[in-house]
Amino acid sequence: MSKTIKIIPLGGAGEIGKNMTVIEYGENMLVIDSGIMFPENDMLGIDYIIPDFNYLRENRSRVRGVVITHGHEDHTGAINHLMEDIDAPVYATGLTCGLLEVKLNRAGLADKVKLVTINAGDSVQIGPFGVELFHVCHSIPDAVGLGITTPAGLIVHSGDYKFDHTPVDNWPTDFGKLAEFGSRGVLALLADSTNADEPGWTPSEAVIDPAFDRVFEEAKGRILVGSFASLISRMQQVAHAAERHGRQLAFVGRSMVDNARMARKLGYLDVPDELIVDINQALKMRPSKVVLMCTGTQGEPYSILGRLSQGTNRQFDIQKGDTVVLSSTPIPGNEELVHRTINRLFQRGANVIYDAIAPVHVSGHASQEEMKLLLQVVRPEHLIPIHGELRHLMQHSVLAQEIGLPKHNIAVVENGTIVSFNEGEMAIEGRIPGGYIFVDGSVVGDVGPRVLREREALARDGVAIIHLMLDCDEGNLLEEPDIITRGFVFTEDAGDLLSDARSLIREIVSQPFDGTLERRVEEELSKFFYTQTRRRPMIFVFASRSN
């Protein structure tokens, strides 16, 4: 058998989100992570995006296992979509398995998928891949990186990591294991590039505690902390702060409640029963005695904070004197939405504290000096930067070159690129599709770029509907053409425009033409509206024919 190994990033290479990497040896494949990505502002109506895993679907009999490095959505969110097509066990640590179970349950896949819990420090043989899990610090407990021994050499996958010496759970990154990999000899390192343009070190999670203390001391009314439902370590810090300041804590929203319950049950979240109250109870308590923890720090309109900012939350509203803490930074692309949410919360009378004002959030990812340290300790022959936009991957490559890794030993590649190693030599072997699959409500993959372009056109220029009543025999108009517009022109001011349009339609109907009348009216009106208004509304023409 040849000793060629292939590494194919299917997500997260060239973007922040939907992480997924495939490692292929002979007839065997190992999948690492299965995440989602949040849509950008111009992707109207799209809930989230998943990797294109058609390659895995086509080769399903060769997939030996799926390993998930930690419980964040950009690593776990697409697990239900993946496991509909793949029949292989899923391996993860305790907390990650718990979070995956919540997702698989909701998708009705819990019985079908074999979830295997393995701990950091343990190893498992998956086909020809000997996988060792090592602990890394990140913004969720029980995160791991992977050492993967293959017949072609050792591959190290960093997972999402930072080198925090004072993490919330007192469990630092496993430097010893990284050094051991280094001494064994590492063929390739795949490493997190998120903060490749941040100089220095990422601050420890410990800096958040004093910031929260100040917020809790100054707040007179209720405190609402917005965070990701998967940011378990932030839940822990908020719980500790509540305890220190004599408040009780309520988790709000299904994913928050489910994840908190799971993390407490498995021992990753240490919150005494007396500290927790149910949301209904919390709403009846004195405002100065409660903290509510909810989702929506990215401005998502249907999250709790999103609804609160718009006054559309069912159970309760923002009240004067509330303090809202946004404990996260906007994911690139979400800034505008987040700032709008912050403004609306202020408008409703809340005091809003976000990371530009106080250090209520620190990154869970390594900065430049930590990235260099990882490279120095692991001493890989090759580097494949992952988990970043192209600019982050490029910057990661520059950092690696600064500490002596030759440029031709670094593969800056985007999703779908096949990186192969043959007898230790790295080569790029072409590309498979690595694009976006849009998930819109429960519809997967049916919404393509064309539908998005239509939505954009509708949002930008609106719609015009034209109804024609025609004589069946002669094709003459029996009534004045009816024109209804929405989002295009304000009809009362558009009298002239619409009566000119009606004249144009009468003229078209009275003249001979090729093709269908509807099509011709649509084309001519589109031109007419554009010359008059510089807009291109979507035009629908219906003709009824009668005697």
Residue 203 is classified by DSSP as P
Closest approach of Cβ 99 to Zn ion, in Å?
Answer: 12
Q: Is 270 a catalytic residue?
A: no
Among positions 22, 33, 36, 72, the unique one binding Zn ion when judged by CB under 5 A: 72
Give the ranges where 424-516 is alpha helix by DSSP (H): 449-461, 495-510
- Residue 205 touches Zn ion, criterion: CB under 5 A: no
- Residue 198 touches Zn ion, criterion: CB under 5 A: no
CB of 234 or CB of 344, closer to Zn ion:
234
CB of 352 or CB of 374, closer to Zn ion:
374
* Residues 93, 140 contacting (CB under 8 angstroms): no
Closest approach of Cβ 138 to Zn ion, in Å?
Answer: 5
CB of 97 or CB of 466, closer to Zn ion:
97
* Residues 289, 281 contacting (CB under 8 angstroms): no
Q: Which stretch binds Zn ion (CB under 5 A): 65-73, 228-236, 276-284, 398-406?
A: 65-73
- Residue 74 touches Zn ion, criterion: CB under 5 A: yes
Distance CA 525, CA 536 (A): 10
CB of 72 or CB of 81, closer to Zn ion:
72
Closest approach of Cβ 72 to Zn ion, in Å?
Answer: 4
The residues facing 190 across adjacent strands are 157, 384
Q: Is 70 a catalytic residue?
A: no
Q: Which stretch binds Zn ion (CB under 5 A): 69-77, 81-89, 347-355, 511-519?
A: 69-77
Closest approach of Cβ 12 to Zn ion, in Å?
Answer: 7
CB of 149 or CB of 255, closer to Zn ion:
255
* Residues 17, 78 contacting (CB under 8 angstroms): no
Catalytic residue among 365, 387, 392, 396: 365
Catalytic residue among 192, 322, 355, 461: 192
Closest approach of Cβ 44 to Zn ion, in Å?
Answer: 25
DSSP E strands: which ranges in 170-247? Answer: 186-192, 223-226
Q: Which two tokens stand for residue 225?
A: 């902390």
* Exposed e or buried b per residue across 481-512, where buried means at least 16 C-beta atoms within 10 angstroms of its C-beta: bebebeebbeeeebeebbeebbebbeebbeee
Q: Which of 289, 351, 269 is nearest to 99 (CA)?
A: 269
User: Mind spelling out the 3-state secondary structure of 304-326?
Assistant: HHHHHHHCCCCCCCCCCCCEEEE
Closest approach of Cβ 391 to Zn ion, in Å?
Answer: 17
Q: Which stretch binds Zn ion (CB under 5 A): 74-82, 91-99, 100-108, 324-332?
A: 74-82
Amino acid at 291: V
Q: Which of 51, 93, 88 is nearest to 68 (CA)?
A: 93
- As a whole number of Å, the end-to-end CA separation of the chain is 78
CB of 298 or CB of 313, closer to Zn ion:
298
- How many chain residues bind Zn ion (CB under 5 A)? 3
Q: Per-residue x/- marks for Zn ion, 149-168, CB under 5 A?
A: -----------x--------
Distance CA 451, CA 163 (A): 44
Q: Which of 418, 427, 247 is nearest to 325 (CA)?
A: 247
Closest approach of Cβ 120 to Zn ion, in Å?
Answer: 15
Q: How many CB atoms lie within 10 A of CB 207?
A: 13
Distance CA 86, CA 54 (A): 11
CB of 191 or CB of 282, closer to Zn ion:
191
Amino acid at 399: L
Q: Which residues contact Zn ion by CB under 5 A?
A: 72, 74, 160
What is the set of active-site residues?
192, 365
